[in-house]
Chains A and B, each alone.
Chain A
Amino acid sequence: MSFSSIEHSGLGRYGDQLSPWADVVAVARAWCVSVPDAPLILGVPGCRYGLDHMDWNGHRNYGRLRLSVLLQNFRFENVTDVDSDDNKCVASLNKHGDRQLVVTARRLPL
């Protein structure tokens, strides 16, 4: 489970080392210490219309591509947002970067 955290991984903002794949490593480590079929719930910046974007060094926005890379070895189950108004979502994401998608998935065995 993670809410508004891994999008910052590896960008140096919080004193961590610069590492482009740190978000992927964080989720993969969770895979390593979880049992098969364990649920994964992620809150990450994004909108359901899915733009992959990097706001250096604030955070990543997760669209179709980065989300798919992030969820390697997890079966995607659902994605939800607090607001069904996607125009508001995109505007807010651009302005504040505080719109979070809640993504649920399940850990699969290799």
Chain B
Amino acid sequence: MSAATTSHPLLRVDRLTKHFPVRGGLPGRRQVVQAVDDVSFEVWAGETLGIVGESGCGKSTTARLLMHLVRPDSGTIAFDGKTLGSAMSRRDLHRQMQMVFQDSYSSLNPRLPAAVSIAFGPLVHGVAKPAALGRAADLLQAVGLDPVVFANRYPHELSGGQRQRINVARALALEPRLVILDEAVSALDKSIEAQVLNLLLDLKDRFDLTYVFISHDLNVVRFISDRVMVMYLGKVVELGPVNWIYRQPRHPYTRALLSAMPSMNPRRRTMAAPLFGDPPNPINPPSGCRFRTRCPYAEAICAALQPELAEMPGEDGRAIACHIHRPGSGHSRATQAGLAA
């Protein structure tokens, strides 16, 4: 991975914020969904960054913001050192960064055969038609579909797994360096999911790709990611190398999330759920720490002050947004070196 030697990250996201206004409601009381609120992170060339969280945590909005499919309210995105909007146009960005969506059917044009769907991007970007279709055939081969059989098939003639392979091929058609996979394997059966995950690993090696892998499935994220970012109600609560996050989760939410996973051991079943109730509404989230309403360790400081994401020394860049892990924060547990890992 040659690009990894450069000193700046492939993608740098700084204080990204997106609030959606809620239509309707009482007049005079404007409400907003704080979908993504002050989110900063970096993606290094050659790595896979996994983003996990429950519904409404802002992981898909983050993906759409990265692709500029929705415009951020504030914050900047820099790709390879070039800030989007000033040093880089959206069109240039899309040559470098592509996305695969969850619903393999609705993300393909039903009236285009597979090869044309794949060739569409290169055609728009000025590649001659025979060359674009030739590249489409190569990509079909690369994703494990015989071009002779599949080039002229329409989306409705394909299975879910095959359609998702077409979507992956289409995302690779412009030879991007970074691919965002937003719940890309979530709708597939387990046996097909395994095939597509293998394909993603192969393609990453072959084309020197960097992935941002978004999923609600904690097992899949653990399998594919190098680093993991945990989100809760529009905020990053914990970020770090996959083994630190999964073996020694530190943020109370990450701990609850991981212990809510089914145990997979019939002799050691889960006896009590770690959290009660559903995630709160992202409209008007709680003050201070957004997790405090469900957190077993919440204290006055948690309601008063929003914890900043702070890096833990000596933990390979792991960062946590929790008063317990910030000495001198005023939380009674903060003096005891945080939650014992």
Do A and B form a real pair? Answer: no
